[in-house]
A and B are shown apart, each in its own frame.
Chain A
Amino acid sequence: MSRLFHDGLIVFLIIGVLMNREDAMMTALLNTPFQVFDLVKTLILSACLWNGLFNIIQASGIISRLSFLFQPVLYWIYGKNQEKEVYDYLASNLLANLLGLGTLATLSGLKAIQALNKSKHHRRSIIILVVINTAGFSIIPTTMMTLRQSYHSLDVLSFYPYSLIIGLTITLLGIVLTKVFVHE
């Protein structure tokens, strides 16, 4: 990853200088901390609130029941050799992704990857978790529906069946490819 960032920045700087984009790049550079501040401001407040609520839901035992409900799917995706706590985080990540709750999905995903990292058999499961989250399969794409609604679309859901099929396909494909090529 460090290589990608390093080499990428070198390429962008060379292209920027060759194409006389110094002014635009300097503006972007100066705006970066403010953009990060806006992003972190939203993320930090949402993360704290959702994590507080998530802790209450977890302490109530509901996550364990949901985890039990998702058990066959989780066992198929991640195998059966993880701790119960790990499955709780994985279940909440899966549910948050499916419901399109971005911040909660990120939060539970980060907790799940940290819990997986502590377990013995984790290499393949970690990759599967990341691949599922890069696919971002959601059955309720709230952001897009709201955006299309704000543009007064006559058919807000015209994109929905296609994106549903695509999301499901690449998620399943990602899981299968990881299972075939990555070994514990």
Chain B
Amino acid sequence: MNSFIFLLLLWSLIECLKKKVPVYQEFIKGVKEGLHLIVLIFPTLMLLTLWVNMFQNCGLIDILGIVFQGLCQLLHVPIDILLMCVMRPISSQGALVILKSIYDTFGVDHIYSILGSIIQTGSDTTLYVVSLYFEAIKKKRVMSVLLLGLLLDLIACLLAFLFYKMFIL
């Protein structure tokens, strides 16, 4: 992987040399554009972080834990797995903290840990992606896209449970 990136860079630099592209100016221009993008998404990042922090600390997760208790017994999984499913589309870091606690409790090669790893890598942080991308073009009506993203996250979790029941358990 690292070799691929360095070979790509080397290839680009040789091509730039052939085409007499001003590499220095191109790099500086790119850095300036990068700064501009960050200014554009910074307010969304602040609001998103505040929202996720309030979600994680208001006690809603404890309520979900009680609600999911029956489902956990039915699926033969610990509560942390279902909390990961809820957390994954909202906060990647939050889901990762739960996954690490599963690793610590059961061991990294336990079936629960493998299921947790599948859930973590099966999809991305939908809320973050939708907020960031639509903020970049100043689009406000995004609920349908968010719902589609969350539906796909749900399908990813259901498939993870299906594989767990069929092949891992």
Contact = CB atoms under 8 A, between A and B. Distances in A.
Interface of A: 1-5, 8-9, 11-13, 15-16, 18-19, 21, 24-25, 27-29, 31-33, 35-36, 39-40, 43-44, 47-57, 59-62, 99, 106-107, 109-111, 113-114, 117, 126-127, 129-131, 133-136, 138, 140-142, 144, 147-148, 151-155, 158-159, 162-163, 165-167, 169-170, 173-174, 177-178
B57 A55 contact: no
- The SS class assigned to the B binding surface is helix
Contact of A174 (B12, B15, B142, B152): B152
Contact of B137 (A51, A117, A177): A117
Interface string B63-103: 10000000000000000000000000100000010011001
9 contacts: A5-B47, A39-B45, A60-B13, A130-B130, A152-B108, A155-B109, A159-B117, A162-B122, A163-B121
A127 B34 contact: no
B129 A107 contact: no
B63 A15 contact: yes
A163 B116 CA distance: 11
Interface residues of B, number: 84
Contacts of A29: 50, 53-54
B145 A53 contact: no
A36 B31 contact: no
B49 A36 contact: yes
Given A55-B30, A166-B156, A130 B57 contact: no
Contacts, number: 262
B57 to A, nearest CB: 4
A43 B118 contact: no
Given A35-B49, A129-B133, A170-B155, A142 B57 contact: no
Interface string B3-15: 0100011011101
Most buried by A among B56, B63, B136, B139: B136
A131 B142 CA distance: 12
B53 A32 contact: yes
Interface in B1-40: 1, 4, 8-9, 11-13, 15-16, 19, 21, 23, 26-31, 33-35, 37-38, 40
B137 A61 contact: no
Contact of B133 (A15, A49, A133): A133
Most buried by B among A19, A54, A147, A159: A159
